Chains A and B, each alone.
Chain A
């Protein structure tokens, strides 16, 4: 039995006028680190809130630990850990007071489950008499995770836990998640950062309330149907316009310091032809290289395929 199962889950706002989540189905296996990847406004938070029984779905159904999110909401609330995207703790309570308060609210003590949070808590322990409002972003994050873990949940819901956190803290955070997974906790995490997708076991790409693809990050990348090229030259913005104007181009978008491009039909001389074409247009320092697509390339491709 999978820990989290969604079946055609639908959520609309403004009395059905705005659909936030459309027929979403996926399931998260026991002990899995599952990522829900998508840009802001894709419906990630709505899905999380329905799964944590905070919102009622308008259609479809979902279960967590086998309990229905609507009828058995009380059971789910006892068993899951939830860290909302906006979670900011009680700013005027100290680190230790926050932790003890949440432990008591969940009917347990810090001591009883200390082994679970020890790795994380030792990092913030030197500041345990400091008010939570005076902590740095990364510290707050760790404290919030401790608070969400303190009752030893079977399923952990983390809604955009790394948004607004610096790169080093983000990396540390993912390391912590890996260790938690090793303890057998099922983790469902959402993030708008595509580069974090490869850190999950399986991911669901989501856009405009619809699931684009569900698989392991590698499988999603392997499914990319065409060779992808990265192109760089002088005058990048004019280059993008010219590349898009070429009849051979299927898709082209800027990606960091390169433009990524696929052809409609891959010919043997596609690359040399392209290079010649660009030289004729007086571009300098032309660099064209085949690359392995990343999750973001897959996302962009899937997004265009749907529309």
Chain B
């Protein structure tokens, strides 16, 4: 046990004396949060909307006010020709134009139907879809308001609601993604590289020719990264609560417990990689290619898995971060309890057990 503690202490020395490792450990999550939170945002905040109000009547004012009241857009009211609208789109920031024709209110009340034209800049399809949905839902709201009191026999009612994320904040999506990404990167990369480094330096030879059990070498390496990853998780959570106004709805202890499990999954993956490679470079490459890309692509935080072709959907099932991402979303954003995530947790636990068994079986007590 004393040997084990000495080993763990040595690992902490390694981490804290290597400025690059430290920067990677704690700079990475901060950079990711800031990057995704402010720069790479795909939410609709601050999109400019142009309202061309040819009607200038009660109904058009009412709808414009409601769009403005949502607080997500900056509205420019104006009268423009279609040509000018196009120029505004080309100029950049304008993402949507709402055009009320002449006699809008009159048509609505007397003909029982009226038209509103919505033009969206679809060069960014996600934003365009979100914005048009948003605008449509506001117009539908107004329509419903008008219809109250009147009892028309057949009316088609589109009920659109954005649940869990009513203001369509991007942060709700990416924070769980960033947590999964950072934990995976830190654990897999750091453990695999640090074990392979001992091989490269030749210190592994010494450690093998010692009474110290080789398996303990591996566990002693994993422990510092386990705790550092929990610390990392805390940093991300604090950042997302304070900086991005994203509250944690669910049980925070449950979140930590599941994260600890996911860290174990990642650590055993790191061990497996370090067992199969002999140089720090290849360990790093495998970790990056094998972890970063699948996490980005198949966890569902960048691209929705449901939209992928079947083979890719099948592949996504073996990516651990997919399950973790679902779990974190359920706990953090939906505020669900363990009963909602037990399946994913079970899958992660199974993966961890399998990976750990393989890597311990594969661990070499000799050099070749």
A binding-site residues for B, Cβ under 8 Å: 49, 52-56, 73-74, 77-78, 80, 82, 84-93, 97, 100-102, 104-107, 147-148
Residues on A with C-beta less than 8 A from B368 are: 55-56
B367 interfacial by beta-carbon distance below 8 Å: yes
- With contact pairs A54-B208, A54-B366, A54-B367 given, residues A88 and B13 touching in the complex (Cβ less than 8 Å): no
Complex contact A52–B209 (CB within 8 A): yes
Residues on A with C-beta less than 8 A from B205 are: 49, 52, 54, 82, 84, 86-87
State in angstroms the CA–CA spacing of A175 and B210 once bound together: 26
Complex contact A89–B367 (CB within 8 A): no
Complex contact A104–B3 (CB within 8 A): yes
20 contacts between A and B (CB under 8 A): A52-B205, A52-B209, A53-B208, A53-B209, A54-B208, A54-B366, A74-B211, A77-B209, A77-B211, A82-B205, A86-B202, A89-B201, A90-B10, A93-B10, A100-B6, A105-B7, A105-B210, A106-B212, A107-B2, A147-B206
State in angstroms the CA–CA spacing of A102 and B14 once bound together: 15
B160 interfacial by beta-carbon distance below 8 Å: no
* Nearest CB in chain A: distance from B10 CB, A: 5
Q: How many A-B residue pairs lie within 8 Å, measured between CB atoms?
A: 82
CB 8 Å contact bits of B175-210 with A (1 = contact, 0 = none) = 000000000000000000000000001110111111
Complex contact A101–B366 (CB within 8 A): no
Residues on B with C-beta less than 8 A from A87 are: 202-203, 205-206
Interface majority SS (helix, strand, loop, mixed), chain B: helix
Residues on B with C-beta less than 8 A from A97 are: 10, 13
Given A53-B366, A78-B210, A105-B211, 12 extra CB contacts under 8 A: A54-B366, A55-B368, A73-B365, A74-B211, A89-B201, A90-B201, A91-B201, A97-B13, A104-B3, A105-B6, A107-B2, A107-B3
* Nearest CB in chain B: distance from A53 CB, A: 7
- With contact pairs A101-B6, A104-B2 given, residues A54 and B203 touching in the complex (Cβ less than 8 Å): no
Complex contact A102–B206 (CB within 8 A): yes
B17 interfacial by beta-carbon distance below 8 Å: yes
Residues on B with C-beta less than 8 A from A74 are: 211
- Give the residue name and chain of the B residue nearest to A49 (CB): B367
Residues on A with C-beta less than 8 A from B17 are: 92
Residues on A with C-beta less than 8 A from B206 are: 82, 84, 87, 102, 147-148
Residues on A with C-beta less than 8 A from B207 are: 105
* Nearest CB in chain B: distance from A135 CB, A: 15
- Give the residue name and chain of the B residue nearest to A83 (CB): B206
- Give the residue name and chain of the A residue nearest to B198 (CB): A90
B145 interfacial by beta-carbon distance below 8 Å: no
* Nearest CB in chain A: distance from B4 CB, A: 9
State in angstroms the CA–CA spacing of A74 and B202 once bound together: 20
B binding-site residues for A, Cβ under 8 Å: 2-3, 6-7, 10, 13-14, 17-18, 201-203, 205-212, 365-368
Residues on B with C-beta less than 8 A from A147 are: 206
* Nearest CB in chain B: distance from A131 CB, A: 8
Residues on B with C-beta less than 8 A from A78 are: 210-211
- Give the residue name and chain of the A residue nearest to B10 (CB): A101
State in angstroms the CA–CA spacing of A97 and B6 once bound together: 10
Residues on B with C-beta less than 8 A from A148 are: 206
Residues on A with C-beta less than 8 A from B211 are: 74, 77-78, 105-107
* Nearest CB in chain A: distance from B24 CB, A: 16
* Nearest CB in chain A: distance from B298 CB, A: 36
State in angstroms the CA–CA spacing of A147 and B10 once bound together: 15
Residues on B with C-beta less than 8 A from A52 are: 205, 209
* Nearest CB in chain A: distance from B280 CB, A: 14
Residues on B with C-beta less than 8 A from A53 are: 208-209, 366
* Nearest CB in chain B: distance from A84 CB, A: 5
Residues on A with C-beta less than 8 A from B212 are: 105-106
Complex contact B14–A90 (CB within 8 A): yes
- With contact pairs A49-B367, A104-B3, A105-B6 given, residues A88 and B203 touching in the complex (Cβ less than 8 Å): yes
9 shortest interchain CB distances as A-B pairs: A86-B202, A104-B6, A82-B209, A54-B367, A78-B211, A92-B17, A84-B205, A52-B209, A105-B212
* Nearest CB in chain B: distance from A26 CB, A: 21
Cβ-defined partner of A55 (8 Å) among B202, B203, B210, B366 = B366
State in angstroms the CA–CA spacing of A86 and B14 once bound together: 20
Complex contact B18–A90 (CB within 8 A): no
State in angstroms the CA–CA spacing of A73 and B209 once bound together: 9
Residues on A with C-beta less than 8 A from B366 are: 53-56
Residues on B with C-beta less than 8 A from A89 are: 201, 203
Complex contact A92–B14 (CB within 8 A): yes
Residues on A with C-beta less than 8 A from B18 are: 92
State in angstroms the CA–CA spacing of A85 and B17 once bound together: 26
State in angstroms the CA–CA spacing of A105 and B210 once bound together: 7
